[in-house]
């Protein structure tokens, strides 16, 4: 609540993960003040080095505890995110370098360690590689840990508050996002990013209301202020007044009651008001997400992003490790299909075991299927794990990301056949599909169709590549409109081409969790959607109120300039007139 004199301040960002929160905001920064310059007597060298060693050991222990906790709450794959930090703290470059500054320059341990960290940080920044964002976050984490042990505070976290709070970050990398405890994080407010950035996707799967792209608005949210934040609209009220707080509590009560009526369900197709069957499947960012998918009654997994097996890792995950992760997911949705997407690395997601050169335009660079085809051992390893899981459970489908040419599909088929012969199963019984997320594929679906079994529409990247809008650039986020007329027309053509080519077609991009976006897709004939598990209950409820026939009429004649330009407002009016509840609650 606002103190007398603190007028409410309104800040606008981009809605990134649903839900609203009221709470105290805590600014989380990776920084800790640089220790003052302090020299020691030559006779104190051993004592000082011992002090450093003790702080280092305590920091490693703290990370191990966190790692174990993560393994038991989220799983082994997620827990591995901490391994690079332990390795960094054991790296002779860091350890010996610090000892040398103590021995040769008579620096106090904290000053020596901080100097060494600064040097390593400079070397990383010099490479100007996007991959360094995650590594820098790790380096800054260990800096905070060791320095806080050296100054006696003994923090074992990254400076995260122990109490419940809305956390405010300048930026948030996926490896930091996965460490947040959803039980204590009321919400996230992030200066950078857009709603399709991977940290935002992760926040959605962790169920944390999130507003991104706040930019300079961050400076208007003081640490310790009370905020009311809405991850569905991107609105943040700093120092909310009494009427706003009352309205918030009333709305939350209504929603809790509403949700309790339809939250948990067994998997089954959903019907529109006029009886069309629609399939709702789950998007998983990590194996653990399958629990939520099962709880909300998803009909299997429509997109299993596998990057989290490799992102930030120093060694390629073994075939067995991958098999275990895939099996975990298959067992989490008994009897249902699991569409596994092969490593979509590059762009903003980097494993540390690959020497990925810095690129001017990483989203147009060495990414996804291009990397896998260039590194056949990495690709084979993953395909072997998938085929073994398929041989054991028979419900896998393989989805290739970022395809732009037939050649990529044919080369994948060759590798798949080799791996299948090796594993001792037939490659032809695993359905192979591609993401439709580049304009090149939209234009050549007829050429590709005879060589694939299904397609999945990736509206996030297709919007980025069609509109020439970087999906990670908060400044451009208002231009990243997945319902731009160019895209709506594309969705129409894609559906037509896939049907003509006899391909199964689904949608796994985020557009399907937006009420207007979903209505357009249903109107164009799409019937199979894959969503973040947290979006499934509300979207299921919404679908039950929509008429596919009405929507098809509203989406007719989109070649007509007038019809296509007015599509969004026409559908907005339709939803307002037809749906008996507030859709802005979950529209983005
Ligand atoms: C997409 O591009 O729409 C998609 C679903 O894939 P990702 O968001 O993982 O790039
Ligand atoms: Mg994509």
Give the β-pairing of 301-305 and 338-341. parallel
Contact partners, residue 409, CB within 8 Å, separation at least 6 = 400, 403, 432, 434, 448, 451, 452
Cα 180 to ligand 1 centre (Å): 23
Residue 336 Cα distances to 257, 301, 323, angstroms: 30, 8, 17
Q: Which of 16, 193, 362, 401 to mutate to test the pocket of ligand 1 (most atoms within 8 A of CB)?
A: 401
Domain 9-30+158-240 belongs in CATH node 3.50.30.10: yes
CB 569 within 8 A of CB 297: no
Cα 305 to ligand 1 centre (Å): 9
| Alpha-carbon gap, residue 305 to 339, rounded angstroms | 9
- DSSP H or E segment with residue 511: none
Q: Which of 201, 282, 460, 507 to mutate to test the pocket of ligand 1 (most atoms within 8 A of CB)?
A: 460
pTM recorded for the entire structure: 0.80
pLDDT value at residue 2? 44
- DSSP H or E segment with residue 59: helix 45-73
Q: The sheet that has 165-169: what strands, in order across it? A: 9-12, 235-238, 226-230, 20-27, 165-169, 185-190, 210-212, 14-17
The beta-strand segments (E) located in 299-451 are 301-305, 338-341, 396-400, 432-436
HSE, CB side, 13 Å, CA atoms: give it for residue 2.
19
Q: Which of 279, 372, 390, 508 is catalytic?
A: 508
Domain boundaries of the chain, sorted by first residue: 9-30+158-240, 42-150, 306-428
Residue 174 Cα distances to 138, 164, 480, angstroms: 11, 21, 21
pLDDT value at residue 340? 98
| The three-state (H, E, C) secondary structure of 154-217, written as one string | CCCCCCCCCCCEEEEECCCCHHHHCCCCCCCEEEEEECCCCCCCHHHHHHHHCCCCEEECCHHH
Cβ count within 10 A of residue 160: 16
Look at residues 443, 321, 343 and name the one whose alpha carbon lies nearest to residue 389: 321
Q: Which of 149, 198, 279, 390 is catalytic?
A: 198
Cα 444 to ligand 1 centre (Å): 20
Ligand 1 cavity residues, CB under 6 Å: 196, 303, 305, 344, 437, 458-461, 508-509
Is 508 catalytic? The answer is yes
Cα 461 to ligand 2 centre (Å): 5
Look at residues 95, 163, 169, 101 and name the one whose alpha carbon lies nearest to residue 137: 169
HSE, CB side, 13 Å, CA atoms: give it for residue 130.
21
The beta-strand segments (E) located in 382-445 are 396-400, 432-436
| Alpha-carbon gap, residue 130 to 354, rounded angstroms | 13
- Would you write out the chain's pLDDT as a tens digit for each of its 588 residues? 444 458 999 998 888 888 899 999 999 876 678 898 899 999 999 999 999 999 999 999 988 987 887 777 767 766 777 788 899 999 999 999 999 999 999 999 999 999 999 999 888 887 766 666 667 778 888 898 899 899 887 654 556 788 999 999 987 765 567 678 888 999 999 987 666 565 676 677 678 999 988 888 999 999 999 999 998 778 899 999 999 999 889 878 877 776 676 667 788 889 999 999 999 999 998 888 899 899 899 999 999 999 878 876 778 889 999 999 999 999 999 999 999 999 998 876 777 778 777 788 888 999 999 999 999 999 999 999 999 999 999 999 999 999 999 999 999 999 999 999 998 887 678 999 999 999 999 999 999 999 999 999 999 999 999 999 987 676 777 788 999 999 999 999 999 999 999 999 999 999 999 999 999 999 999 999 999 888 898 899 899 999 999 999 999 999 999 999 999 999 999 999 998 876 655 433
Superfamily of segment(s) 306-428: Phosphoenolpyruvate-binding domains (3.20.20.60)
Q: Which of 458, 510, 512, 532 to mutate to test the pocket of ligand 1 (most atoms within 8 A of CB)?
A: 458
Is 198 catalytic? The answer is yes
Cα 402 to ligand 2 centre (Å): 7
Residue 39 Cα distances to 48, 49, 114, angstroms: 10, 13, 14
Task: Give me the long-range contacts of 358-364 (CB less than 8 A, separation at least 24).
Answer: 358/127, 358/128, 358/129, 358/130, 359/130, 362/130, 363/464, 363/470, 363/471, 363/472
| Alpha-carbon gap, residue 232 to 215, rounded angstroms | 18
Contact partners, residue 168, CB within 8 Å, separation at least 6 = 25, 26, 27, 28, 188, 189, 190, 218, 221, 223
| Alpha-carbon gap, residue 1 to 471, rounded angstroms | 35
The fold of 42-150 is: Enzyme I; Chain A, domain 2 (1.10.274)
Residue 47 Cα distances to 24, 52, 98, 103, 118, angstroms: 42, 9, 14, 11, 23
Cα of 418 vs its chain's centroid, Å: 32
pLDDT value at residue 178? 67
Cross-strand partners of 27 = 168
Task: Look at ligand 1, atom 5, and give the residue with the nearest C-alpha.
Answer: 509
Contact partners, residue 478, CB within 8 Å, separation at least 6 = none
Classify 427 as helix, strand or coil. coil
Task: Look at ligand 1, atom 9, and give the residue with the nearest C-alpha.
Answer: 305
> Which of 100-117 are b and which e, b meaning 16 or more Cβ less than 10 Å from the residue's Cβ?
ebbbeebbbbbbbbbbbb
Task: Look at ligand 1, atom 4, and give the residue with the nearest C-alpha.
Answer: 458
Q: DSSP letter for 39, please.
A: B
| Alpha-carbon gap, residue 412 to 392, rounded angstroms | 22
Query: What are the φ and ψ backbone dihedral angles of 490, each rounded to 5 degrees?
Result: -65, -45
Give the β-pairing of 9-12 and 235-238. antiparallel
């Amino acid at each position: 609540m606002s103190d007398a004199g603190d007028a409410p301040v309104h800040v606008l960002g981009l809605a990134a993960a649903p839900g609203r929160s009221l709470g105290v905001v805590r600014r989380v920064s990776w920084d800790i003040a640089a220790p003052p310059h302090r020299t020691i007597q030559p006779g104190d060298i051993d004592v000082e080095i011992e002090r450093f060693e003790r702080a280092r050991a305590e920091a490693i222990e703290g990370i191990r505890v966190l790692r174990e906790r993560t393994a038991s709450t989220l799983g082994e794959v997620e827990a591995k995110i901490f391994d690079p930090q332990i390795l960094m703290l054991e790296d002779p470059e860091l350890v010996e370098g610090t000892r040398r500054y103590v021995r040769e320059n008579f620096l106090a341990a904290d000053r020596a360690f901080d100097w060494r960290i600064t040097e390593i940080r400079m070397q990383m920044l010099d490479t100007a590689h996007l991959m360094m964002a995650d590594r820098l976050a790790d380096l800054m984490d260990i800096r905070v840990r060791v320095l806080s042990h050296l100054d006696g505070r003994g923090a074992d976290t990254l400076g995260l508050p122990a109490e419940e709070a809305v956390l405010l970050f300048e930026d948030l990398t996926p490896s930091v996002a996965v460490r947040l405890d959803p039980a204590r994080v009321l919400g996230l407010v992030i200066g950078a990013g857009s709603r399709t950035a991977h940290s935002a996707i992760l926040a959605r799967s962790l169920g944390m209301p999130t507003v991104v792209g706040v930019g300079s608005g961050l400076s208007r949210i003081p640490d310790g202020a009370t905020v009311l934040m809405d991850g569905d609209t991107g609105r943040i009220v700093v120092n909310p007044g009494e009427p706003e707080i009352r309205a918030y509590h009333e709305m939350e009560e209504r929603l809790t009651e509403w949700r309790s009526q339809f939250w948990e369900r067994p998997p089954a197709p959903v019907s529109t008001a006029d009886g069309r069957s629609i399939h709702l499947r789950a998007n998983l960012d990590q194996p653990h997400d399958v629990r939520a998918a099962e709880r909300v009654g998803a009909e299997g997994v429509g997109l299993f992003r596998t990057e989290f097996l490799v992102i930030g890792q120093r060694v390629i995950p073994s075939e067995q490790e991958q098999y275990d992760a895939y099996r975990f997911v298959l067992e989490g949705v008994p009897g249902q299909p699991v569409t596994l997407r092969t490593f979509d690395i590059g762009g903003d997601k980097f494993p540390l075991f690959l020497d990925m050169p810095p690129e001017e335009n990483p989203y147009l660079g060495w990414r996804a299927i291009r990397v896998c085809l260039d590194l056949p051992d990495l690709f084979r390893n993953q395909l072997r794990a998938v085929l073994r899981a398929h041989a054991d459970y028979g419900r896998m489908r393989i989805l290739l990301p970022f395809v732009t040419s037939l050649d990529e599909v044919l080369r994948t088929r060759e590798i798949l056949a080799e791996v299948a012969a090796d594993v001792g199963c037939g490659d032809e019984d695993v359905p192979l599909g591609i993401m439709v997320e580049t304009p090149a594929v939209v234009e050549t679906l007829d050429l590709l169709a005879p060589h694939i079994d299904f397609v999945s529409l990736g509206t996030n990247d297709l919007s980025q590549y069609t509109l020439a809008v970087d999906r990670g650039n908060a400044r451009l986020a208002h231009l990243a409109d997945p319902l731009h007329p160019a895209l709506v027309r594309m969705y129409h053509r894609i559906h037509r081409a896939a049907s003509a080519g006899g391909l199964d077609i689904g949608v796994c991009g985020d557009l399907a969790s937006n009420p207007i976006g979903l209505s357009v897709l249903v109107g164009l004939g799409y019937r199979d959607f894959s969503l973040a598990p947290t979006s499934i209950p509300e979207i299921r409820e919404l679908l039950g109120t929509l008429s596919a026939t009405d929507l098809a009429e509203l989406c007719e004649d989109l070649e007509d300039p007038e019809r296509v330009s007015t599509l969004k407002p026409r559908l907005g009016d339709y939803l307002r007139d037809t749906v008996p509840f507030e859709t802005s609650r979950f529209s983005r």
